[in-house]
Structure 1
Amino acid sequence: MRSRTRIPPSPLPQIAGIDPVRLRLPSDPEGRWPDLGSYLTERYAGTKGAESVARLLAGGRILGPGGRVLAAGDPYEPGSYLWFHRDMDPEPVVPFPIGVVHRDEHLLVVDKPHFLATTPRGSHIVQTALARLRAEQDLPELSPAHRLDRLTAGLVMFSIRPEDRGAYQQLFAERRVAKEYEAVAVHDPRTALPCTVRSRIEKVRGVIGASEVPGGEPNAESTVELLETRGELGRYRLTPHTGRTHQLRVHMNRLGLPILGDPVYPRLLDPAPDDFRRPLQLLARTLAFTDPVTGAEHRFESRLRLQAWEDRTAWESGAC
């Protein structure tokens, strides 16, 4: 068995909870890259990062092991590592706090607000729960055990110690966590509830919404229960038995009960990135599981409330 090459420690610290990019240079049997600059130019050609990498090289912001500053004309060294921080575009600040529900030496469980992504992706980098919590809680090695959709509020769990990360992530991968959600949507007495919705949901990369495929083998299952009504609105408990993208939102829309504030279902809207009015009325309410590290029985409940249920007038006016 071949031994794994030990990865040198990063010479760069996190910035605002974001790790530097780590890049290992691939082998070059044909001698295509006479120097580091030629490799990076080819790697990032035609991408948004091309100009950024050129600026990083010119500014001495790409480092090798031990903190050595690398330049475009340095020899290309296959198998060596380099690190750099990408230039990050300004992001609208999500003006809502992250509430800590539980913290011990292994776990951090928080209430993620609406509009905050769980982890860096696409245009959401610093304004993410992971980046903010690393900085706010002084936990640079924090990592997510699972993810919650950016528009959905509620419970998200993070692993504090790197050695525990796999156990907690496997907990979710193997569906050994009981999850319940709460939603506010229109109430239609013609819809027989409770019911279990099963369908095949597919998500195409680059397309915002997910779609149900008629006649396909079901890969998504959700139970929908009506808890109470208030005028023409209903408060619902949603229990996902699978974890497809936008599953609960798609299934509620299928029942003719689209969740209030949904900018995708039943029709695609285009709110501005800094429009935090009328958030999606979907909340990850509970997480329950046996801790794979300590053996403790956990049941966590969100402390957040759905605004459209508490004060519909305020929600409709956008007074979050």
Structure 2
Amino acid sequence: MTYLEFEKPLADLEGKAEELRAVARKGEGVDLEKEAAALDRKAADMLRDLYRNLDPWRKTLVARHPDRPHCTDYVDALFSEWTPLAGDRGFADDHAVMGGLARFRDQPVVVIGHEKGNDTRSRIHRNFGMARPEGYRKAIRLMEMADRFGLPVITLVDTPGAYPGKGAEERGQSEAIARCTEKCLQIGVPLVSVIIGEGGSGGAVAFATADRVAMLEHSIYSVISPEGCASILWKDAEKMREAAEALKLTAQDLKKLGVIDCIITEPVGGAQRDRDEAIAEVGREIATLLDGLKGAKPAELIRARRQKFLDMGSKGLAA
């Protein structure tokens, strides 16, 4: 288990409990289980207290936790007959974006998501989940396919943002993001998006301009990272805590503002503490959201989706 900075007291408690059990395993007739169990209870109480009222910066840290389930984990657990599709038919395949055909609870769907990778090699291969133009153009191709064959689209968002490299800009990064966002508004099939970790900048919006947008309880969704915002506003990236507060990037704030539709509860201590339960909860929510869109005609879906985003600012302004 990887502990975050604010979890150090918890790490000490859980470490001591494990040390006691290790001593008990080595020594004959030594029974330290009661002491270890007492430490476990104390650690469980501390975990609940830590996660009961996380501030926006701590939520940002949790959303970035390396042990949180990634897109590949959700695909493996929730979907059957997964058939990955590659390439944008124009330049290359972007490994930061995975997509393909699958079945979700026996229903054919198209799945698109960001993948960050889970170790040094895979993170470099996946470019840390930062898509280049060909990634967004691959997503466009898959959404067009879904529209052609009447398949619902499920997107899983987890990205710090679009890749800011020179090559990406030369190949039309901003145009690709805009086209992908536009395509989300044009398809006549149900489109459900889940923010499973970081929802950063236009790179996230390009996948999350959906009929229904859900966020995991400790995920974030923002136009810019707290560090980037602090660098621009205060010329000091160390003011990221103030920036995180001002950006209103938590699921709870965004639900109040009407930017997202629902919040998916995470296990105590975050999705990284009980990956299987977190993934199962996401699956249940996706099923509920798709059921709510079942039977809607293509023209109705397109009209309602466009109106949803046109109206989005008015709720926040009224508040």
Normalized against structure 1, the TM-score is what? 0.26
- Please say which structure displays the higher CA radius of gyration: 1
What is the TM-score of this pair, normalised by structure 2?
0.26
Q: Name whichever structure is richer in strand by fraction.
A: 1
